């Protein structure tokens, strides 16, 4: 599916980086418990080591749970994390009326004018969740193997329309009777070969899957070659 791509983060050829005041904004959506916050925690150090500054907007229904978790993590300046309480269906504030999230991202960019990347994490939702392109420039959708091997076959809009599909928690596959390689192959087929990455955020010394996610964002969104190290 071809979608319009907004010009983002104007590139300064002499400096070799995006110009200040033009942060790219990406979305991370997916069902409750799929590992969205854990992926952010794994991505932040990779981006920081690559010289990419990051701020985060989290979404929860009525709490600030994910924002507080990130602030406590020690991975990011707590001032660079904002929380949005959706108060209703999570996809409403990232699609039908993203005003609250736009305001939160604008406030972070005003506070940190040199920030390169603002990550907007949706609240946990179903497979129909998608992001408005008024809010983000690019978005990924996260599912995990423990949710069942039929998830790709359900062909939800989140799975089909995202710029990158991430299949998380592959390390749990043997414990839930799922073939992780089969899920990956089926997801790639359902998406017509569009970018799909399998990963795990725990117990992987090489961090290969998360590194692949970081590299995709660096190249496709920030137009940089990722050279992050742990």
Is residue 9 in some structural domain?
A: no
Mind listing the pLDDT tens digit for each residue in 75-116? 999 999 999 998 878 889 999 999 999 999 999 999 999 999
Count of structural domains, the chain: 1
- Average pLDDT, integer, range 205-218: 94
Classify residue 179: in a domain, yes or no: yes
Q: Which two tokens stand for residue 71?
A: 């602030």
To which residue do tokens 């709490």 refer? 63
pLDDT at 21 over 60: no
* In 82-150, alpha helices (H): 99-111
pLDDT in tens, 131-145: 999 999 999 999 999
- Does 55 score more than 60 pLDDT? yes
Indicate whether 160 belongs to any domain. Answer: yes
Determine the Cα–Cα distance for residues 97 and 93; give it in Å rounded to an integer: 5
- Tell me which residue range forms the domain holding 77: 21-220
Residue 11: inside a domain, yes or no? Answer: no
pTM assigned to the model:
0.89
Task: For residue 157, give the CATH number of its domain.
Answer: 3.40.50.300
- Select from 145, 147, 91, 149 the least CA-distant residue to 120: 91
């Amino acid at each position: 599916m071809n979608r319009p791509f907004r010009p983002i983060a104007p590139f300064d050829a002499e400096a070799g980086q995006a110009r200040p005041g033009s942060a790219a904004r990406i979305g991370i959506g997916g069902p409750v418990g799929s590992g969205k916050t854990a992926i952010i925690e794994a991505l932040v150090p990779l981006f920081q080591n690559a010289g990419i500054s990051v701020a985060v907007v989290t979404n929860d229904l009525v709490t600030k749970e994910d924002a507080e978790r990130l602030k406590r993590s020690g991975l990011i300046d707590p001032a660079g994390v904002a929380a949005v309480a959706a108060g209703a269906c999570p996809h409403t504030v990232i699609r039908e009326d993203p005003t609250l999230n736009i305001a939160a991202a604008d406030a972070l960019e005003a506070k940190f004018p040199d920030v390169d990347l603002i990550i907007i994490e949706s609240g946990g939702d179903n497979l129909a969740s998608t992001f408005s392109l008024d809010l983000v420039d690019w978005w990924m959708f996260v599912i995990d193997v423990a949710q069942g091997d039929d998830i790709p076959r359900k062909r939800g809009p989140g799975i089909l329309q995202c710029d990158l599909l991430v299949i998380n928690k592959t390390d749990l596959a043997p414990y839930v009777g799922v073939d992780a390689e089969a899920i990956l192959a089926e997801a790639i087929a359902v998406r017509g070969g569009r970018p799909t990455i399998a990963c795990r955020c725990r117990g992987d010394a090489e961090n290969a899957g998360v590194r692949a996610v970081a590299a995709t964002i660096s190249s496709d969104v920030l137009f940089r070659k990722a050279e992050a190290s742990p």
